[in-house]
Chain A
Amino acid sequence: MEDTTRLTSEHSIKLFIQRDYSEGTAVKFQERFPPELEGKIDRSKFIDIIRHINSIYAEAEALSCKTFMENCCACLTGYLLLLCMPTHYEKCAKRAARYISEENDRTLNPKGIFMIDPMEKGLRCIEVCISSNR
């Protein structure tokens, strides 16, 4: 156990941005600035990134004619259609992953922060690693 403790405390910190369940089970991450990131990154920049991820997932989960049609068509083909085309949600999840990797390259990595796609954690939280030898 000491190993993990040392790993996490001396060289890097990991933090997990939790889901915001105040509006039900819709995918939404807490839009608040973790104190561990104080002095590392601009507060509004970080919250903007989270807010953008939330907006992508909000779009993925929105009830729209498009998803309705998509599901009806898939249902009529016995859901075999889903084997050959990505759903709206999958496209959005992929877009969120792409956005996170772009932000990693552009703003986060130069400041020693690394953000991981929340899909890896089953959309429960966003894992953020901060390296502290900076």
Chain B
Amino acid sequence: MVRKWEIIESKNRFYCDGRCLTGRNIGVFILALVLIIVTSGLFFAFDCPYLANRLHPAIPVFAAIIFLTVICFIFRTACSDPGILPRGTSDEILYLERSNVSNSPQSVALPGRTIEVQMSSGHVIQLKFCSTCKIFRPPRVSHCSLCDACIANFDHHCPWVGNCVGLRNYRYFYLFLFSLSILCAYIFAFNITHVVLRAQEKPSFIDAIRDTPATVVEAIICFFSIWSIVGLWGYHTYLICRSITTNEDIKNTWNASRPGMTMKNPYSKGHSCLNCFSILCGPLPPSFLNLRAIVKPDDHINMTRNAMMNTNNAQDLIRYQHEENRRTNNNRVYTTMTHPYSERKQNSYPPRDYV
């Protein structure tokens, strides 16, 4: 039994039989995780007992809640599908090659063609062909070379979470930044409080520091990370209010002044609250990859080739299995039988050069 995640071409790592995925390099993600856990661990071990006695027993409880939130969101960001678009099949390439969906003449090779879309807001958007994924990239879709996949609403590839940040995990990423900013500020504030309280009991400030070396270590880590974390959180808040992605902001897509063009962001809903609402609380599509679908070995290709699809075995082409008992984690109950000519089959055709 082969599941779809085992034959997917993107450079992702898959875990738990295709239930979750991360990018290829997760070294920095583990470093981030270690930093968060070690700093919080030191706080719980060395500061919390003293602070709970001296100030209030609720201090460790709140710290634990914030810490668990951070861990939950970092894993959610790192392990969900950012919105990877499935690659085009050979049929689709053939169709695109022959049809006139693009604005370029048919003599131009597919990778050089573009589709121009006239939007009702007056913008003209160019859809370029992705020679790796073999699709015309929809608006806001960008190819991540590290994951080797086209990502919907591509924001950026974040090494700290070891995954791309895109349509499906942007809100988790934002909430991770938000909760981490709070955790950082919380730990830093109570580190200072701890040292100050101890200094009042001791003859000198140096003695207080000597008593609590762990607090000093935590304070140093927090002091250096808080600026970048809070800064990044603020930057993403600004991006969310304007409804642009980091990718668009870096490329300055909606600010570049081109003659005769309105360059206002066409995806903005008009009001920053509405943008926040739609990005953070709006509906989220399920993963397009359907990673846990069972792929049928391509033994019926010959059958299809000879008997060809008349209506009766058009059913064989793709079969939806309603298996209520095999609910995948994203609750797509139907399981796809792969297409006779799709993914696996492509390998048996002479390789096409789309570079």
Contact = CB atoms under 8 A, between A and B. Distances in A.
Given A21-B117, A61-B283, A68-B281, A129 B85 contact: no
Interface string B228-269: 000000000000000000000000000000000000001100
A70 to B, nearest CB: 8
Interface in B14-39: none
A89 B284 contact: yes
A117 B341 CA distance: 16
A87 interface: yes
A94 B76 contact: no
Interface string A1-29: 10111011001101110110111110100
Which bucket holds chain B's interface residue count? 35 or more
Interface centre among A16, A19, A101, by most chain B C-beta atoms within 10 angstroms, is A16
B114 to A, nearest CB: 13
B317 interface: yes
Given A71-B280, A120-B318, A86 B331 contact: yes
A42 to B, nearest CB: 17
B139 to A, nearest CB: 5
Interface in B42-101: 68-69, 72-73, 76, 84-86, 90-92, 94-96, 99, 101
A11 B308 contact: yes
Interface string B278-304: 101111111010100000000000000
Contact of B309 (A27, A87, A131): A131
A84 B68 CA distance: 20
Nearest to A5: B94
Contacts of B96: 16
Given A123-B288, A131-B309, A67 B120 contact: no
A4 B91 contact: yes
B284 A1 contact: no
24 contacts: A1-B349, A1-B352, A4-B94, A5-B94, A14-B91, A14-B95, A16-B92, A21-B125, A22-B117, A23-B119, A23-B120, A71-B281, A71-B284, A75-B175, A78-B69, A78-B73, A87-B286, A89-B285, A89-B286, A97-B334, A119-B286, A122-B86, A127-B92, A129-B314
Interface of B: 68-69, 72-73, 76, 84-86, 90-92, 94-96, 99, 101, 117-121, 125, 127, 135, 138-140, 152-153, 171-172, 175, 266-267, 274, 277-278, 280-286, 288, 290, 305, 308-311, 314-315, 317-318, 320, 329-334, 336, 341, 349-350, 352
Given A4-B341, A78-B72, A88-B283, 8 more contacts: A14-B91, A21-B119, A21-B127, A101-B320, A120-B336, A121-B86, A127-B91, A134-B310
